[in-house]
Amino acid sequence: MEPKKMYIDGEWVTGSMEKPFDVINPATGEVLAQVYESSVEDTRRAIAAAKKSFYQTREWRDMDSQTRSDMILKIADLIDKYADELAMLDTLDNGKPLREAEGDISDGIHCFRYYAGLCKTPHGGVYEVNDGFGKMHSYETREPVGVCAQITPWNYPFLMSVWKLAPALAAGNSIVFKPSPKAPLSTIRLFEIFEEAGLPKGCVNLLQGDAEVGTEMGENTDVDMITFTGSTRVGQSLMKAAATNVKKIGLELGGKSPNVIFADADLDGAVEWAMIGIFFNQGEVCSAGSRIIIEESIHDEFVARLKKKAEAMTIGNPVNNPDIGPVITEKDMEKVLSYIKSGIEEGATLVTGGERYTEGECAKGYFVRPTIFDNCTSDMKIVREEIFGPVVSIQTFKTEKEAIAMANDTVYGLAGAVFTSDITRAHRVISELRAGITWINCYNPTFNEAPWGGYKMSGIGRELGVHGIEEYQEVKQININLNPGIVGWYEKIVNTWTVLVYVIISQTLILKFTSRYILCHLHTQGEEEA
């Protein structure tokens, strides 16, 4: 098998180490492909190529909006052309059911088309300003940030790549990109599409590797911006690295999101959406509704229905479209199982699941049964820490105030949902949730047009929507003097000082003359009296 190459300065290269690593199919445990690993030297070459592309050759940066938009639309059309291939790559590489991968590719197509449109929309503003210095015209423009380093996770390999690449390209930046080494194949294919579409040399560069590549991207002073989606721990390290030149940064990090269900909610709907919230993509979703917080009076009925549906889920090879596929690696599977063990040890009630699934064709894959824990308390690890697998905890509440307090009892603030038939209560509770992405009577729908990002330790900045392209732009203020010429500011100062000096001298002379007059008058008067 020929290892996949990295893409630097318009060329597919093996890298300085010429060292490939294995990409594993999580459904079978077998080697799916090999990819050349990037070194720090390769990373610096890619950054230099992006810098040259942006600051010297400037072909993509200076391209007019219509031409750039047409190019991005061409990329979208090519993705559409290869959609089946891309979906299969994500399924084999990541383990998500094929229908979910197909949905990701479709969303990616529309994301590129959305930002192709934003290339041409009006932006900026004009400001009414005072005339203290004469008549002025003040306005703003938006410009590309420059060299953007981007790092994506493995849970949505293709879609997360698109979420970063589409707005960054639409804004006119040059890019150095690193996908997760656990699932890089669809992103490699996307860069082949970039080449086919005819993107200018150096404006997109693809690296492969792990921590040292990401660290160099963060620390390198030729990088103007770094964006990252992944764990909070890695995000914190990148923030420290980015401080070297105070580069712009965007972070979409972990979550431990609450799903609050009131007694007046549509119970069947709440159960189904709770399933989507936690078991979609094997629970490997940063916004997963991993904490169900339910009103005490409907707890028993809800848990019974959720258990029945979870146990009815099909598990199997993702190419056959089961309800749930494998988690990404054996190591990640063991991590999920360790959390399940801790939940049992800390006294939570295991309702269903809780073990590896090894039946039939799944014997060698990394499958975990959908797992439900009941009677959980806020101090348990399974309630406080992000598991990133098909594991949900259930807690109960009696009052709305208690529900809000439990929902916000986390260091994270990515997402959250409220289920109730009382729309007033829905808005009231949603407004109290400290989270960036929220839903009422549903869970997990995502839209290219709407911003995505979190509060607290869930990150900085927003992806998607208008906010998504603004993240990759700098705002410049421009002020124009409408009456060019001499302002007279310093002349006024000079004249003021002249007058002041004149007054002082005049007063001194007058005082001196007056003194002499008085002395002379007194002397004359004395002589007359004598």
Give the pLDDT band of residue 530 (cuts 50, 70, 90). Answer: very low
pLDDT score, position 496? 59
Active-site residues, by number, are 252, 286
Pick the CATH number of 6-253+465-478 from 3.90.420.10, 3.40.605.10, 3.40.50.300, 3.40.50.1860: 3.40.605.10
Give the pLDDT band of residue 244 (cuts 50, 70, 90). Answer: confident
pLDDT score, position 134? 86
What is the identity of the amino acid at 40? V
Average pLDDT on 182-201 reads 98
* Residue 199: closest CA among 41, 73, 42: 73
Domain boundaries, the chain: 6-253+465-478, 258-447, 489-522
Which range is least confidently modeled, 18-27, 29-38, 456-465, 477-486?
Answer: 477-486
Above 70 in pLDDT, residue 520?
no
Above 80 in pLDDT, residue 451?
yes
pLDDT score, position 519? 55
With 0-12 CB in 10 A as exposed, 13-18 as middle and 19+ as buried, what is 276? middle
Question: Vertex 314, ends 312 and 318: CA angle to 5°?
Answer: 160
Give the pLDDT band of residue 524 (cuts 50, 70, 90). Answer: low
Above 70 in pLDDT, residue 106?
yes
Residue-wise pLDDT tens digits, 475-490: 999 999 999 988 877 8
| Beta-carbon contacts of residue 189 (< 8 Å; ≥ 6 apart) | 82, 85, 86, 89
* Residue 270: closest CA among 420, 372, 429, 425: 420
* Residue 65: closest CA among 171, 152, 212, 181: 171
d(CA 91, CA 513): 104
Above 70 in pLDDT, residue 518?
no
pLDDT score, position 324? 98
Q: Which CATH fold topology does 258-447 show?
A: Aldehyde Dehydrogenase; Chain A, domain 2 (3.40.309)
pLDDT above 90: percentage of residues in the chain: 87
Residue-wise pLDDT tens digits, 268-309: 999 999 999 999 999 999 999 999 999 999 999 999 999 999
Q: Would you state the structure tokens that stand for residue 143, as one six-digit string? A: 């410009």
d(CA 81, CA 511): 97
Q: What is the 3-state secondary structure (H, E, C) of 7-49?
A: EECCEEECCCCCCEEEEECCCCCCEEEEEECCCHHHHHHHHHH
| Beta-carbon contacts of residue 503 (< 8 Å; ≥ 6 apart) | none
Around Cβ 415, how many Cβ atoms within 10 Å? 30
Above 80 in pLDDT, residue 529?
no
Above 80 in pLDDT, residue 391?
yes
How far is the CA of 52 from the CAs of 47, 59, 342, 421, 437, in angstroms?
9, 10, 51, 57, 37
Average pLDDT on 21-26 reads 98
Above 80 in pLDDT, residue 148?
yes
Which range is least confidently modeled, 315-329, 381-395, 438-452, 510-524?
Answer: 510-524
Above 90 in pLDDT, residue 256?
yes
- Which one has a higher pLDDT value, 121 or 141? 141
d(CA 453, CA 93): 26
